[in-house]
Amino acid sequence: MKKENLYELLLKDYNDGLNYSGVKGERLANRLTTISNIGLTKDGGSNRPGFSDKENQAKNLVKKWMEEAGLEVSEDNAGNTFGKLTGRKPDLKAILSGSHLDSVPNGGHFDGPLGVLAALEVVESWKDTNFIPNRSFEVVIFIDEEGARFNKGLHGSQAMIGGIKEENIKSLVDQNGLYFGDVLKNRGLNIRNFINSKRNLDNIELFIETHIEQGKILEKAKSPVGIVTGIAGPCWLEFQLEGMADHAGNTPMDNRNDALVAASDLILQINALPKSISSSAVATVGKMQVFPNAINVIPGKVNFFVDIRDIYEDTRDELVGKIIDILKIVTKKYNVHYTWHERLRVNPIPIKELIQKKLATSIKENGLSPISLPSGAGHDAMVVGKQVPVAMLFVQSKDGVSHNPNEWSSLNNCIHSIHVLKHFIENY
């Protein structure tokens, strides 16, 4: 897909009948295209790492658009940007909406920027129709969501809720040998202020993030937009199975302690387990090391990781427990030893049913049928949801492709999501 012609591609099959109530598809297409040209790769993808000049360039561009839309623009000590429109009843708690502008290397053009620009397009529609909402509204740009630079992301949203600890960031080093503190300094920031950039969250009613689905559920349902029921919390387990490395030719099949065969049996059982516990649970083995990794040697040791997720903490933890139980049974069966370590555990963020019902109403009011689905991926809303109520709208993704230059959501679907977002905010 030739993304240098992104504007023309977006408008190619656009239904301009969706241009109503001040929402304009051409404006969104133009802005998505303009941002896509910042960090454009030779493959037609995006490359705007967190805290990079490219991310900053994109952020400054959106800040300019915010100011032109009449927003009061500010930036916190973490580099997060907020564009505020004061509501008719400023004593009410505010609604925030946005996402991020950084990308993975050679990523797509919708993951992140769509959420920021969708929130800004709502403001533009209000400006064009002389509408002021009851609640104050803020467009948010979170910095460094993807974490491509330090292999650890969500730094902007973590900073806003006070979730950054110095011991967790001061030792982070990027691929160029620059420490996190050095990178912050290059952006005019510093670790001490970054850690202490927590915002007063008492005046926030809700944060809502519009994001591409990064999956195929909406596409299969032929639905442009969906309601996220919850954001899955990952638990990462590291397993080490140790048997006996031996000669592949001289060791009979019934006298082996093959660590890889044991791991294979375990992995097959892990793959089948989630559906017996929860319809939204998943488990993935995506990284494995085999030792000594030789053609003619029985594998003596295997290391692998299991990524376990669900939107419900109790079923996620039940799945973790059952996987450990299977580990013990399988290793006994094949006479291999095991050790395991928990490397990560993040609590899932369920979306309140009342919020989901309000989103369903907004979808119906726009002539669409509500469809609900979980989010298996982490987002800034997952972090913010630890402290304040959150909501998420998913936009249909073509073929479920994401983090790839071929990432695509049609302009029609994007604009449908903006109309839903607009109605939701106006009536919350």
> What is the predicted pLDDT for the residue at 1?
43
Question: Is residue 75's pLDDT more than 60?
Answer: yes
CATH of 3-232+348-426, one of 3.40.50.970, 3.40.50.2000, 3.40.50.1000, 3.40.630.10: 3.40.630.10
pLDDT, tens digit, for every residue of 211-235?
999 999 999 999 999 999 999 988 9
Angle at 175 between CA 1 and CA 167, to 5 degrees: 120
pLDDT digit string, tens, across residues 287-299: 999 999 999 999 9
**Domain residue spans of the chain:** 3-232+348-426, 233-345
Cβ proximity of 251 and 346 under 8 Å: no
Task: State the pLDDT at residue 3.
Answer: 42
CATH topology of domain 233-345: Alpha-Beta Plaits (3.30.70)
Distances (CA, A) of 143 to 1, 158, 194, 282: 28, 10, 12, 28
Tell me the per-residue pLDDT of 134-180, one tens digit each, with 9 for 90 and over: 999 999 999 999 988 888 889 999 999 999 999 889 899 998 999 99
Report whether pLDDT(361) > 80: yes
In angstroms, the CA 327 to CA 321 distance is: 10
Cβ atoms 417, 224 nearer than 8 A: yes
Report the distance separating Cα 115 and Cα 55, nearest Å.
15
Query: How many C-beta atoms lie closer than 10 Å to residue 119's C-beta?
Result: 28
Residue 153's pLDDT is 87
- In the structure, what pLDDT confidence band is assigned to residue 30 with cuts at 50, 70 and 90? very high
- Read off the amino acid at residue 248: A
The whole-angstrom separation of Cα 290 and Cα 362 is 52
Q: Say if strands 349-350 and 246-247 run parallel, antiparallel, or are unpaired.
A: unpaired
Encode pLDDT of 38-61 as tens digits: 999 999 999 999 999 999 999 999
Residue 346 is predicted with a pLDDT of: 83
The pTM of this model reads 0.88
User: What's the pLDDT score for residue 175?
Assistant: 87
Q: Which pLDDT band, with edges at 50, 70 and 90, does 242 fall under?
A: very high
What's the distance, Cα to Cα, between the start and end of the chain in Å? 39
Contact criterion met (CB below 8 Å) for 56 and 29? no
